[in-house]
Homo-oligomer: A and B are copies of this chain.
Amino acid sequence: MTEIQSLARGLKILDLLAAAEDTVGITEIAEYLGMDKSSISRVMQTLAVYGYAEQEASTRRYRLGPQVVVLGQTLLNRLPLRDQARPFLQQLVDRTGECAHLGVLTQNQVLYVDQVESLATLRVNTRIGTLAPLHCTALGKALISFARLDLPEELNPFTTRTIVNPDVLRVHLEQTRLQGYAIDDEEYNYDVRCIAAPVYNHDNNVVGAIGISGPAGRMNLEHIPEMAAIVCEVARALSNRVAFRRS
């Protein structure tokens, strides 16, 4: 694996620009990458020429450029699942009162590609474009368990409830498969529970997962079965739609 260093530098800088709160100066970037600021200056000029970065005229500092939006939306618009899922996400919100999300598998992570917010004052907001781990989110667990994928190598803990033992996780996923839906019981964020179910295409491949997230108070353990039933029902309806099956 030969990695092209100057390209990799540029991409790392884009990541850095995204992680930064606001604009970033060339000196900071140079420090961060352990390089000379003159080199970074030229990298930034290149990124700017192609619209991936933008220099603020007044401060000469840099931020992400419009081209990243163009690319991001291009990819999102290319997911037909996304348009199809929208009304079903809305239905989930209407029927459960919690925020609904659509996730797909990429690079051993879940990518949240759509979201419908609930009207509740206290609500969970996972923005579109978020990447999250597979082993401790409901969407992620739905994806790996129903698509029968391998476990991720690293099972990092995020809360004390995160399942970090591969054997325990395997059993848990088997159980998930049997019950037809996945649950995240404060395994990624404290006070947040999620329920998710898979979406299939006409070849019976898992193409994504939809689910709801809410505060642990409302999503308490006795409500979960009925909410899960709704999630499963809507996910099944969406699968039928995706697979061109009628009803």
A151 part of interface (Cβ distance < 8 Å): no
Question: What is the count of identical protomers in the complex?
Answer: 2
A54 is an interface residue with CB less than 8 A from chain B:
yes
Question: Is A12 in contact with chain B by the CB < 8 A criterion?
Answer: yes
Given contacts A4-B43, A109-B66, contact A18 B49 (CB under 8 A): no
CB <8 Å contact, B6 and A69: no
Interface residues of A in 21-60 (CB under 8 A from B): 42-43, 45-47, 49-52, 54
Question: Which of A92-100, A124-132, A209-217, A236-244 contacts its partner?
Answer: A124-132
Interface string of A58-91 (1 = CB under 8 A from B): 0000011111111111111110000000000000
CA distance A131 to B70 in the complex (A): 7
Contact indicator A129/B69 (Cβ below 8 Å) = yes
Q: A65 CA to B65 CA in the complex, in Å?
A: 18
Q: Are A111 and B8 in contact (CB under 8 A)?
A: no
Determine the chain B residues whose CB is within 8 A of the CB of A6 once the complex forms: 4, 6-7
